[in-house]
Structure 1
Amino acid sequence: MLAAYSDYDRHYQKPSKDSALKVTKEERLALKGNYDLLDSGRPFHPLRAQLLAAAPNKKCPMCGHRDVATLDHYLPKAVYPEFSALSRNLVPVCPYCNHEKADKLGDELGRRFIHAYYDLLPDIELLVADVVIDSSVFVKYRIDRPNGLVDPVVDNLEYHFTALKLNECFESEAFDELTGRAGAFHYQYEYNGGEQGLATMLRVEAVSERSKAGVNSWKVALYNALSRSRDFCNSGFRLLSRGDWDF
């Protein structure tokens, strides 16, 4: 077991469908059962509490905005029972990401999920939003890889984004954000500088959110895209509400 623990880094970087530890069926079940020791009233429960409390701002590191409520086995205990109670393998996440990730290890290209404890994204804009003005305001999210950038972490981010269906998640959040802020957009346009005033407000929102959540927050991407959209800042914002605003 100690040898397996010391070899964890190699396994998380290139997950395999087979554990390197050769054990019997009974031993496998016993190793998986070690995770139960983190339950309330069991010997390792303080470890569970410490791991959940360690998430920055109590937000899930896999999606970046839902509250953490459970622990995910980065290397699934169904495949790697030896790591079922290893703290480095237990990541505080939200129930949605835990469910979507399940026992997936990666894809045929060798890409895997981002590991919150080890993988550091480059400090550049990778998550972007596209604003489409039609009968309403639509926002779509994607990973935009700079031309010529060779980085295995970004490869993994592309897989992570797709496997967790984060585009759907972020688009839903963006809709709620836009409808909730519609009145503020109207007020800014009417009383604080029209199109340019609204664009400035949106840029300030993006900078403010970036200071709190980093460059690749869904909300930063949203406000960056809105501030750059002349269609939105000129008149598109009016499509967020059919009512009259009386300030």
Structure 2
Amino acid sequence: MPKPARDNESDYRLALSRRPSAEQVTLSYLQERVFEAYRKYDEVGGTPHLIKSIVDDDETGSQALQSTYGLTYPGKCLAEISEQAFAAAPYELCPMCGRVTPTTIDHFLPKSKYPEFSLLSTNLVPVCPDCNRYKSTLTGSQSDGRFFHAYYDDISQEPPLLKSKATVERGVILSFYVNDALPVAVYRNARYQFDRLRLGKLYPKASVPELLERYDAFPLAFASGGADGVAREARRIGRKIEGNLGRHYWKVALYEGLAQSRSFCDGGFALLEAKTPSRLPSSGLLEKGAIGRPAT
């Protein structure tokens, strides 16, 4: 995502002017330290372990800084900050999971731990409710990995972040995982984000409506080209999606996994015969990524 083109120092000064007088005193006192923190944030791309909060033991300062975020709500003087963030979401999709439209704002560095960045536009990322809830106040670490920063981390030249696998049992069982061919540091961050956002559970569920919508393409491909025809069709769909949304998009991994699954391509796709999610089995299989009617 492109970084917000805002004058963050002007935003802070406007917020200061709109706060109660007692908070204005505190915010004025902290102003230069906050601006220095802004410059540090940009220098290190918001990397958590490289930034130390300027108000660790200052409860009054922390509360005053956090209160400024309320001015980004609809109808407030800095609502444009949130509006611009939502407008910048690529393809109107959550930049953390790519599944649905973002409707909430996440503080990449949580304002409870880094209150000086409560109002910083480059710290405010549009995300979906699930990602916001699962990320919560987590930041990760240098050793364990961290979340990718939508405004700073450029992974466009890396191998695909995700892979998937499809097997056929009583239904089509899908699993997603992080590509172990990634460079070590990128893999660590990708695995951290994948695990903390529970994408291993969310992507199989999101695959249900995706595959039901495209179901008719598979029997047609099988009739004309057998298993190889289904694999070619799955890759054709995946390449088209990649051309529009990039190699890291989860649906690209989905269709490559289907193309590599002999059991799916050799007739297993028929278990996708239910045409709507409401007709899918209500068993635990669906929660584990199984799609289609159980065998009878």
Do these two structures clear the TM 0.5 threshold for a shared fold by scoring above it?
Answer: yes
User: Runs of 4 or more off by more than 3 Å in structure 1?
Assistant: 14-18, 20-23
Which string of whole-angstrom CA distances, capped at 9 and with x for unpartnered residues, describes residues 61-111 of structure 1? 000121011111000000001000000100111111111101111158241
Match of 2:164 among 129, 134, 149: 129
- Asked whether the equivalents of residues 66 and 94 of structure 1 are also in contact (C-alpha less than 8 Å), the reply is yes
- Specify whether residues 118 and 242 from structure 1 end up closer, same or farther in structure 2 by C-alpha distance, changes over 3 A only: closer
Q: Tell me the percent identity.
A: 36
Measure the CA separation in 2 of the matches of 1:99 and 1:230: 37
- Specify whether residues 223 and 166 from structure 1 end up closer, same or farther in structure 2 by C-alpha distance, changes over 3 A only: same
Using the TM superposition, name which of 71-80 and 34-43 deviates more. 34-43
Using the TM superposition, name which of 76-85 and 39-48 deviates more. 39-48
- Asked whether the equivalents of residues 73 and 90 of structure 1 are also in contact (C-alpha less than 8 Å), the reply is yes
2:39 maps to 1:6? yes
Alignment of 1:31-46 (within 5 A): 31-46=65-80
Task: Report the Cα offset of residue 180 of structure 1.
Answer: 3.1
Task: Indicate the residue corresponding to 1:209 in structure 2.
Answer: 241
Task: Indicate the residue corresponding to 1:116 in structure 2.
Answer: 150
Measure the CA separation in 1 of the matches of 2:90 and 2:213: 25
Instruction: Please give the secondary structure, in 1, of the residue aligned with 2:158.
Output: coil
Alignment of 1:28-107 (within 5 A): 28-107=62-141
Instruction: Please give the secondary structure, in 1, of the residue aligned with 2:215.
Output: helix
Task: Indicate the residue corresponding to 2:260 in structure 1.
Answer: 228
Structure 1: segments with no counterpart, 5+ residues: none
Match of 2:54 among 20, 23, 26: 20
Task: Report the Cα offset of residue 22 of structure 1.
Answer: 5.1
Measure the CA separation in 2 of the matches of 1:7 and 1:134: 53
Task: Indicate the residue corresponding to 1:188 in structure 2.
Answer: 221
Total equivalences in the alignment? 240
Measure the CA separation in 2 of the matches of 1:26 and 1:11: 27
Instruction: Please give the secondary structure, in 1, of the residue aligned with 2:193.
Output: helix
Task: Report the Cα offset of residue 11 of structure 1.
Answer: 7.7
Using the TM superposition, name which of 193-202 and 95-104 deviates more. 193-202
- Specify whether residues 139 and 85 from structure 1 end up closer, same or farther in structure 2 by C-alpha distance, changes over 3 A only: same
Task: Report the Cα offset of residue 49 of structure 1.
Answer: 0.7
Task: Indicate the residue corresponding to 1:162 in structure 2.
Answer: 195
Measure the CA separation in 2 of the matches of 1:110 and 1:198: 39
Structure 2: which amino acid aligns with 1:132? T
- Asked whether the equivalents of residues 55 and 62 of structure 2 are also in contact (C-alpha less than 8 Å), the reply is no
Structure 1: which amino acid aligns with 2:147? F
